[in-house]
Amino acid sequence: MSDRSKTTDGTVRERGADASESARGTEPLLRIEDVHKSYGDEEVLRGIDLEIDRGDVEVLVGPSGSGKSTLLRCLNRLTEVDSGHIYLGETEVTAPDTDPNAVRQQIGMVFQDINLFAHLTARKNVTLGLRKVRGLSAAEARQRADSELDRVGLADQADSYPAQLSGGQKQRVGIARALAMDPEVMLFDEPTSALDPELSNEVLEVMQGLVAEGMTMVVVTHEMRFARGGASEITFLADGEIVERGPPETLFENPEHERTKQFFESIRHE
Amino acid sequence: MEGLVALTELAAALPTGQLLPVSEEQVGQYLGEDWEFVYRNSDYLLWGTVVTILLTLTSILLGFLAGFPAGAIEAYGSGYSRAFVRKFGVLLRGTPILVIMIFTYFVLPIEIVLDAAQFGLRSIEYVLGPTPFTVPTDVPDAFIAATIALGFRSAAYQSQIFRGALGSIDEGQMEAARSIGMSRLSAIRHVIVPQAMRRSVPGFQNEFTIVLKDTSIAFAIGLGELLKRSHDLFTQQTTAVLEVILFISLIYFVLTFGTNRTLDYVSNRFAIPGESS
């Protein structure tokens, strides 16, 4: 764990530069067009447009109820949009004839309440998808799982059950489980909100490691340290709309909108 | 106390190294002729116990085979299937077991039931290939009628156990499974059901005990299970009612206690490490 965090800071910047260069002139990996979603009378997403390039780290921030988690869940169709389109590369995720199970293999998700399979060991949490979805043999799946667990620094906990792990360890297994499917994009839905600050760090370090590896990520978080250090772009949402989007420095130091300014000031005071 | 003294004397009177069989005369001498009567007929009662155990197993099995899918349909199904299962369950739970059993014995044509079972088994074999099972032809009608009555009544209750257990699994488990690309069915099978089965053990434990005790209802349709056979005995020697009833109570107790302990063991054996059950 510690050796990864050491290298993180330097490589983040480098990678950012590489990514923007290679992305120039190519299609964005994720394209969100005019997405609307209502629950009953309440419209939680009011026409979201967003493009995320391969290798980018998009951080979604905003007050609770702003629709950021809903937007994230629309990306892998855990929530269905009411109207609008979402594309992953060439595939339209939201098309009725698109198999959501196929799309979800390409989009990893990490949950706020972690949701490890409670009856399975850390290793089996990771192998289940490989076995039942990818159809790998037991030996192949095990090998893959062990290398993913090693990637999140938990090789020694492979045989532990979720109830025997700390919150931070559990969330790292959750990340390994998603990574094992070899996704093109990783979605993080407030991955540290359920954790003590102390335990958050180990999760954030793993996420920083992914940033350094060039993983495309969409992250809903209140962790401004991560947003500042890891994000390529920050999108500020309020009341189901994108208020402002820009690189971290701009949004933190020099936001255009008064609403954005208020939000960042309010969390700075926390 | 007197009985206890008598028992110790009896034990002392036994030749060393040879505890059994105690002769009927010895029992009669120390415990009285009514206990001697029970002792003489104990094999008759023990065969009744075998019938009771078999009836419990067939009923629980039928209850599981019908009750588990019914619970799954109540938890996940929709439309007509769910409405049908619910109404059938309400009907079964709302009817006394004695009434159900008299219905299955006197009204339900057992031949048709067996033909249906035969057809079902053939269909399964057509799909899966030969199975080692055959539809019984030489089983008494009363046993089949009792199995159907106890089995379907138990299914109506087991379905509620499983429905509750399936519903108690956090929604996040399903979402996490779906998020890695598992189908709904696969998620239910590999993520939800294994956890729900563990949670349904305590309810199942109750149900097992209830079915075991309710096999005695088959007395009403003349099936030679434990209670029927004890009735046969104490009508033969009416002074021995207490002794016979005490004896079969002990057997029922040993059976329920034994199964509960076994299921406790199963529950602990399959408990998820680190979780308090």
- The residue assigned the tokens 């156990």 is B161
A1 falls in which pLDDT band (50, 70, 90)?
very low
Looking at residue B160, its pLDDT comes to 97
Question: Are B176 and A108 in contact (CB < 8 Å)?
Answer: no
Question: Are B274 and A132 in contact (CB < 8 Å)?
Answer: no
Tokens of B42: 């104990």
Question: Are A118 and B179 in contact (CB < 8 Å)?
Answer: no
Instruction: Give me the mean pLDDT over the A172-189 stretch.
Output: 96
Max avg pLDDT among A256-270, B83-97, B262-276: B83-97
A270 falls in which pLDDT band (50, 70, 90)?
low
* B126 min Cα distance to partner chain A (Å): 27
B179, B198, B272 member nearest A161 (Cβ) = B272
* B194 min Cα distance to partner chain A (Å): 7
Please state the φ and ψ torsions of residue A49, each to the nearest 5 degrees.
-120, 130
Q: Which of A132, A173, A187 to mutate to test the interface with B (most CBs of B within 10 A)?
A: A132
Alpha-carbon Rg for chain A, nearest whole angstrom, is 18
B178, B183, B198 member nearest A119 (Cβ) = B198
A105, A114, A115 member nearest B181 (Cβ) = A105
Average pLDDT score over chain B = 90
Question: Are B181 and A129 in contact (CB < 8 Å)?
Answer: yes
User: Does residue A56 surpass a pLDDT of 50?
Assistant: yes
Coil, strand or helix: which one is B84? Answer: helix
CA-nearest of A141, A215, A218, A147 to A183 is A215
Q: Which fold has domain A2-117+168-268?
A: Rossmann fold (3.40.50)
Looking at residue A8, its pLDDT comes to 41
First to last CA, chain B: 41
B10 falls in which pLDDT band (50, 70, 90)?
low
Residues of chain A in contact with residue B186, where contact means CB-CB under 8 angstroms, are 132-133
Widest CA span in chain B: 75
The C-alpha atoms of residue B251 and residue B44 are separated, in whole angstroms, by: 13
CA-nearest of A196, A249, A242 to A224 is A249
ipTM of this complex: 0.86
pLDDT digits (tens, 9 = 90+) for A197-220: 888 999 999 999 999 999 999 999
B2 falls in which pLDDT band (50, 70, 90)?
low
The C-alpha atoms of residue A244 and residue A260 are separated, in whole angstroms, by: 7
E-only strand ranges, A19-160: 30-39, 42-52, 57-61, 83-88, 91-92, 107-110
Tokens of A168: 């931070």
Amino acid (1-letter code) at residue B163: R
* A43 min Cα distance to partner chain B (Å): 23
pLDDT digits (tens, 9 = 90+) for B17-70: 445 567 888 888 888 889 989 999 999 999 999 999 999 999 999 999 999 999
B179, B186, B190 member nearest A109 (Cβ) = B179
Residues of chain B in contact with residue A115, where contact means CB-CB under 8 angstroms, are 170, 172-173, 175-176
Question: Are A178 and B186 in contact (CB < 8 Å)?
Answer: no
E-only strand ranges, B101-153: none
Number of domains in chain B: 1
Q: What is the number of other CB atoms lying within 10 angstroms of the CB of residue B245?
A: 15
Give the strand pairing for A91-92 and A107-110. Answer: unpaired
* B28 min Cα distance to partner chain A (Å): 57
E-only strand ranges, chain B: none
Alpha carbon separation from B94 to B89, B91, B218 (Å, rounded)? 8, 5, 19
The C-alpha atoms of residue A185 and residue A76 are separated, in whole angstroms, by: 10
E-only strand ranges, A93-232: 107-110, 185-189, 216-220
Residues of chain A in contact with residue B195, where contact means CB-CB under 8 angstroms, are 117-119
B179, B198, B272 member nearest A104 (Cβ) = B179
Please state the φ and ψ torsions of residue A237, each to the nearest 5 degrees.
-110, 145
Average pLDDT score over chain A = 88
Name the DSSP letter for residue B52.
Answer: H
Looking at residue A6, its pLDDT comes to 38
Show me where the domains of chain A are located: 2-117+168-268
The C-alpha atoms of residue A167 and residue A97 are separated, in whole angstroms, by: 38
Question: Are B273 and A163 in contact (CB < 8 Å)?
Answer: yes
Q: What is the number of other CB atoms lying within 10 angstroms of the CB of residue B126?
A: 8
Question: Are A109 and B190 in contact (CB < 8 Å)?
Answer: no
Coil, strand or helix: which one is A48? Answer: strand
Nearest CA in chain B to A187: B179
Alpha carbon separation from B150 to A90, A128, B156, B248 (Å, rounded)? 58, 38, 10, 20
What range defines the domain where residue B95 resides?
A: 54-224
Question: Are A119 and B177 in contact (CB < 8 Å)?
Answer: no
Give the strand pairing for A107-110 and A57-61. Answer: unpaired
Residue B134: give its domain's CATH number: 1.10.3720.10
Nearest CA in chain A to B170: A115
